[in-house]
């Protein structure tokens, strides 16, 4: 990875903690419906509804909240109390108000790279929520551009590269999702580095042993500095 000019970072579970907050909300949600179904069946019903709603709502907490409400209606066959609906809204709002917890090494890495590369955030999620998190994170100052994307498929990355006036071979994407941050970027001729996080949403999990000249996997984000020097 020698000619990199633009480095894009995924945000959730790459720069800061995200998925554990979803798991926490989901656990509380499953407990709310345990009189109707075993916990794992509630989780499965919710996941199915979330995936079904993705094309309509996109990624993020607001869509998750609507899917929780729909799951309540489905699981209770329309007999749910308003109290249950209000709990689901409360779980979502709690999640929207979580503090930002930066992952280890993030600031050191951004600080080391900021003069030498154009740094970009490329993330999915709700526009307002991601803007708020970025502001709360104190990391805005490092970034040349913030792209909040409705999806991370090849066409979405091509659009981003066009906007940045950057060739795929000069572009490096760093993120925790092989499916969203790595595979589509390699597919369009870009470079990608995978930094796995301990928890991954089922929708983002792919069985894949990536072997590609433009790909590296690292255990923690600070290892990126050594890779860029190679």
| Binding residues for Mg ion (CB under 5 A) | 10, 12-13, 176
Measured at the CA of 181, the angle between CA 176 and CA 187, to 5 degrees, comes to 145
Least distance from Mg ion to the Cβ atom of residue 48, Å = 22
Least distance from Mg ion to the Cβ atom of residue 197, Å = 7
Q: What are phi and psi of 220, to 5 degrees?
A: -145, 155
Check: CB of residue 118 under 8 Å from CB of residue 144.
Answer: yes
Q: Which residue, 68 or 121, has its beta carbon nearer to Mg ion?
A: 121
Q: What are phi and psi of 91, to 5 degrees?
A: -60, -40
Residue indicated by tokens 């990608």: 192
Name the residue among 22, 65, 17 with its Cα closest to residue 203. Answer: 22
Least distance from Mg ion to the Cβ atom of residue 42, Å = 25
In angstroms, rounded to a whole number, what is the distance separating the alpha carbons of residues 64 and 58?
9
Q: Which residue, 80 or 126, has its beta carbon nearer to Mg ion?
A: 126
Q: Which residue, 70 or 145, has its beta carbon nearer to Mg ion?
A: 145
Least distance from Mg ion to the Cβ atom of residue 20, Å = 12
Q: Which residue, 12 or 50, has its beta carbon nearer to Mg ion?
A: 12
Q: Which residue, 67 or 176, has its beta carbon nearer to Mg ion?
A: 176
Least distance from Mg ion to the Cβ atom of residue 3, Å = 26
Measured at the CA of 146, the angle between CA 209 and CA 199, to 5 degrees, comes to 40
């Amino acid at each position: 990875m020698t000619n990199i000019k633009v480095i894009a970072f995924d945000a959730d579970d790459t720069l800061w903690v995200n998925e554990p907050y979803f798991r926490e909300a989901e656990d509380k949600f499953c407990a709310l419906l345990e009189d109707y179904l075993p916990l794992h069946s509630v989780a499965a019903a919710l996941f199915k509804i979330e995936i079904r709603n993705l094309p309509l709502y996109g990624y993020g907490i607001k869509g998750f909240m609507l899917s929780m409400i729909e799951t309540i209606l489905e699981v209770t066959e329309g007999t749910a109390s308003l109290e249950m609906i209000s709990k689901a809204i409360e779980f979502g709002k709690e999640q929207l108000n979580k503090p930002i917890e930066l992952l280890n090494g993030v600031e050191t890495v951004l600080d080391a790279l900021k003069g030498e590369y154009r740094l970009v955030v490329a993330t999915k999620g709700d526009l307002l929520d991601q803007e708020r998190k970025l502001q709360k994170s104190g990391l805005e100052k490092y970034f040349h551009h913030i792209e909040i994307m409705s999806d991370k498929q090849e066409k979405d990355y091509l659009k981003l590269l066009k906007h940045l006036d950057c060739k795929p071979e000069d572009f490096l994407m760093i993120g925790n999702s092989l499916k969203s941050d790595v595979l589509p970027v390699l597919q369009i001729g870009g470079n990608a580095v995978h930094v796995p996080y301990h928890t991954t949403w089922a929708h983002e999990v792919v069985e894949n042993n990536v072997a590609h000249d433009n790909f590296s996997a690292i255990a923690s984000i600070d290892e990126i500095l050594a890779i860029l020097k190679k």
